[in-house]
Chains A and B, each alone.
Chain A
C-alpha cells in the first residue's frame, strides 16, 4: 500500500483539525486589511515575512488577511475591524479612516518612503484574444458596438483609477474643454452594462461570465487573469496614456498601540521595500517602487506606458474625490445625464 485510504485519512484529518480549537496559540497575530487584487501577492509575501521575522529572532507570528473592495474595507476598519495595517487601493480610503477614527495620524503618507506606496500599478485594457473589436485606445471605448466592463467608482478603488485615466485622456484630446470631456465620459459609461462593486467582481464578470468586449483593469489584475484563465483567451492592450496608481500602505497606530504590535506592524510594512518584498511585488505584476532591487528579467514584461500622477493633474486625491466621486459630483452628473 503506497497511499492510505483516502476516506480514513480524510476522517482523521478532519477530526484532528476540528479538535484543534483556535485560541490556544499565544502567537502574535497581525491583521492586514487589504483590497481585492492583492490576495495572491500577500499570500506569498506573508510567508516570506514570517520566515524573515523568525530568522531574525522574532517570536512566531501569524499574519491574517481580509480582502474586499477598497472603500468597503475602509468602512469596516472605521466600523471597528481590528486592522494592524491597511494596504488599500487609494490614499483617500486611508484618509477616511484617519478622519473618522483618529487611529492614523493625518500625515501618515510621509511615514514611509515613496508616499507610502511600495509598489505601483496602472490601468490597462484586457480584451478577448486577437482583439476582435480592434480596441487600441480610450476613444475606441465610445464606439456603439463596444461594451466596457468596469466596477462602480463609488465602492471600488480600481474603478476610480479607471475613471480618472479616461478623464486624463479626454482632457488631453480636447485640450481641457470640460463640456466635451464630460460628454466623452458620459458616452463611455453608457457603454458599461454592469457596474460591479469591486475590481475582482468585474474581472469575474468579464472572464467567467463572458460579458463585455473590454475590461478596464489594474495591470496586475489583467496579467493575473491571463495567467489563471489561459494566455490564449485574452490580450492586454496598453492605451496611449494612463494613470500612475499608487496603492498606499500604513500602520493603524491606534490599534497596534492597544495591541502592542506597533514594532511588528512597522517592520512588516518596511519589509515591502526590501529586495524580497520588491521582487515578490514584481512577480505578482506590481511595478516595484525600487526596480533596481529586482531582477531585470522580472521587469521586462511591464509594457512602456505614459503614466500621469493624480496629484499633477487633479491637485490631490482628496480634490479628485470631492469633485468627481462625492454625492452629486461629476460622476453622478454624467451618469444621471446618460439615462
Chain B
C-alpha cells in the first residue's frame, strides 16, 4: 500500500465525523422529502380505495388501450433507435470524416429542444395546413392525431439516448481490437458481431433502458400530436392527465403507479448495469 491507512481520517475528504454526519443527513433528508415522499404518495393514493379499485382502474378499456399504445410505441421506437444509435456511434467513434462535429451536434438536438417544439414540428409538417399534410390526407394516410404521429414524436425525443451512451464508450475503446480482427481476416460483419458488440453490450443495454423509459414516459411532444382521443390516441401519461382532470384521482394515481413501477424497474436495472459497466468495460477478453 502506497498510502498509509493511518492518515486517511485527516485527508481533505475526511472531514470530522460530525460534518460528515450532517452532510449525509441533509442529503438523505432531501432525497426522502423530494423523491421518496412523492413516490410513496403516488402509491398510497393509488391504493386508497383498495386493490380491487386499483385493478378496476388499470383494466378499464381506455386504460388498457393507453397501455397498449404506449407499449406499441416503445416496441417500434426503441429498436429503431437501437439500430440508429449503434450505427451513429460506430461511424463517429471508429472513423474520421468531414462534418463529424455537425453530426454529433445534430444527435444532441432533441436534448436541447423543448418537447413541445418537437411535437409542433410534426404539426407543421403533417398538419392540415402543413407541408405534407394535405397530400398525405388526399392519399388516405393518417400521420398527425394517429399512431404514426405519436411514434414519430417519440422517435424524435428518444433519438440521442443510445448514441449518446455509446459514443464515449466506443471512442475510449479505440479501433485496435477491430484492426486486429480485420488483419486476421475476419469480415466486417463478423468483426462487429464478435469484437465490437461484446465490448459495448452493457453500455448498449444501458442506453436502451433509458431510451425505453423516456419512450414510455414522454408527455409533452406526444400531447401535441395526439389529439387526445380516448381509447385511440391516448398514451399512459396522457391518460393519467385526463383521469386527473376528470376528478378521478384514485384511477389517475393507479395508472400513474404503473409508470412509477416502470421507473423503479428502470432504476434497479440501471444500478445493476452501472455496477457491470464499472467493472465490465475493461473485460475486452469477451464473454
Residues of A in contact with B (beta carbons under 8 Å apart): 6, 9-10, 13-14, 17-18, 21-22, 31, 36, 39-40, 64-68, 76, 78-82, 100-101, 200-201, 204, 224-225, 228-229
The reply to whether B246 and A68 form a contact with Cβ atoms under 8 Å apart is no
Contact of A64 among B67, B129, B229 (CB under 8 A): B229
**What separation, in Å, do the CA atoms of A299 and B236 have in the docked complex?**
39
13 more A-B contacts (CB under 8 A) besides A22-B68, A64-B229? A14-B67, A18-B71, A21-B68, A31-B229, A64-B231, A66-B229, A66-B230, A67-B242, A68-B228, A76-B145, A79-B129, A79-B145, A200-B245
Q: List, sorted by A's number, 8 A–B pairs whose CB atoms are closer than 8 Å.
A: A17-B68, A18-B64, A22-B68, A64-B231, A78-B129, A80-B126, A81-B144, A229-B247
The reply to whether A80 and B128 form a contact with Cβ atoms under 8 Å apart is yes
**What separation, in Å, do the CA atoms of A13 and B58 have in the docked complex?**
10
B59 within 8 A of A: yes
Residues A40 and B230 in contact in the complex (CB < 8 Å), given A21-B68, A80-B145: no
Residues of B in contact with A (beta carbons under 8 Å apart): 51-52, 55, 58-59, 61, 64-65, 67-68, 71, 123, 126-130, 133, 137, 142, 144-145, 227-232, 242, 244-247
**What separation, in Å, do the CA atoms of A66 and B142 have in the docked complex?**
17
Collect the chain A residues with CB atoms within 8 Å of residue B64's CB. Answer: 14, 17-18
**What separation, in Å, do the CA atoms of A306 and B55 have in the docked complex?**
47
Main secondary structure of the interface of A (DSSP, over half): helix
How far apart are B245's CB and chain A's nearest CB, in angstroms? 5
**What separation, in Å, do the CA atoms of A101 and B134 have in the docked complex?**
11
Contact of B67 among A18, A79, A224 (CB under 8 A): A18
**What separation, in Å, do the CA atoms of A229 and B59 have in the docked complex?**
25
**What separation, in Å, do the CA atoms of A36 and B52 have in the docked complex?**
29
Collect the chain A residues with CB atoms within 8 Å of residue B65's CB. Answer: 22
How far apart are B145's CB and chain A's nearest CB, in angstroms? 5
Collect the chain A residues with CB atoms within 8 Å of residue B227's CB. Answer: 66, 76, 81
Collect the chain B residues with CB atoms within 8 Å of residue A79's CB. Answer: 123, 127-130, 133, 144-145
Collect the chain B residues with CB atoms within 8 Å of residue A64's CB. Answer: 229-232
**What separation, in Å, do the CA atoms of A229 and B145 have in the docked complex?**
33
Contact of A66 among B71, B128, B133, B228 (CB under 8 A): B228
Of chain B, the residue at the smallest CB distance from A62 is: B231
Collect the chain B residues with CB atoms within 8 Å of residue A67's CB. Answer: 228, 242, 245
**What separation, in Å, do the CA atoms of A79 and B246 have in the docked complex?**
26
How far apart are A7's CB and chain B's nearest CB, in angstroms? 9
How far apart are B158's CB and chain A's nearest CB, in angstroms? 22
How far apart are B250's CB and chain A's nearest CB, in angstroms? 12
**What separation, in Å, do the CA atoms of A172 and B122 have in the docked complex?**
48
Of chain A, the residue at the smallest CB distance from B55 is: A10
How far apart are A37's CB and chain B's nearest CB, in angstroms? 10
**What separation, in Å, do the CA atoms of A156 and B258 have in the docked complex?**
32
Of chain B, the residue at the smallest CB distance from A228 is: B247
Contact of B55 among A6, A76, A81, A225 (CB under 8 A): A6
Collect the chain B residues with CB atoms within 8 Å of residue A65's CB. Answer: 229-230
Q: For A31, A36, A76, A80, which residue has the most chain B Cβ atoms within 10 angstroms? A: A80
Q: For B64, B137, B227, which residue has the most chain A Cβ atoms within 10 angstroms? A: B227
Q: For A66, A201, A224, A228, which residue has the most chain B Cβ atoms within 10 angstroms? A: A66
Collect the chain A residues with CB atoms within 8 Å of residue B71's CB. Answer: 18
**What separation, in Å, do the CA atoms of A80 and B67 have in the docked complex?**
25
**What separation, in Å, do the CA atoms of A76 and B106 have in the docked complex?**
29
Of chain A, the residue at the smallest CB distance from B242 is: A67
**What separation, in Å, do the CA atoms of A64 and B228 have in the docked complex?**
10
**What separation, in Å, do the CA atoms of A68 and B71 have in the docked complex?**
25
Collect the chain B residues with CB atoms within 8 Å of residue A18's CB. Answer: 64, 67-68, 71
**What separation, in Å, do the CA atoms of A228 and B249 have in the docked complex?**
11
**What separation, in Å, do the CA atoms of A204 and B244 have in the docked complex?**
9
**What separation, in Å, do the CA atoms of A200 and B242 have in the docked complex?**
11
The reply to whether A6 and B230 form a contact with Cβ atoms under 8 Å apart is no
The reply to whether B59 and A17 form a contact with Cβ atoms under 8 Å apart is yes
Contact of A80 among B55, B127, B231, B246 (CB under 8 A): B127
How far apart are A9's CB and chain B's nearest CB, in angstroms? 7
**What separation, in Å, do the CA atoms of A282 and B146 have in the docked complex?**
34
**What separation, in Å, do the CA atoms of A21 and B65 have in the docked complex?**
9
**What separation, in Å, do the CA atoms of A64 and B128 have in the docked complex?**
21
**What separation, in Å, do the CA atoms of A66 and B238 have in the docked complex?**
12
The reply to whether A81 and B246 form a contact with Cβ atoms under 8 Å apart is no
Collect the chain A residues with CB atoms within 8 Å of residue B51's CB. Answer: 6
**What separation, in Å, do the CA atoms of A81 and B225 have in the docked complex?**
10
Of chain B, the residue at the smallest CB distance from A64 is: B229
Collect the chain B residues with CB atoms within 8 Å of residue A228's CB. Answer: 247
Collect the chain A residues with CB atoms within 8 Å of residue B58's CB. Answer: 10, 14
How far apart are A332's CB and chain B's nearest CB, in angstroms? 23
Of chain A, the residue at the smallest CB distance from B68 is: A18
How far apart are A87's CB and chain B's nearest CB, in angstroms? 14
**What separation, in Å, do the CA atoms of A68 and B145 have in the docked complex?**
14
Please provide the 7 A-B residue pairs with the shortest distance between their CB atoms, ordered closest to farther.
Answer: A17-B64, A79-B127, A80-B128, A228-B247, A13-B59, A81-B145, A81-B227
Collect the chain A residues with CB atoms within 8 Å of residue B123's CB. Answer: 79
**What separation, in Å, do the CA atoms of A142 and B222 have in the docked complex?**
40
Contact of B246 among A40, A82, A101 (CB under 8 A): A40
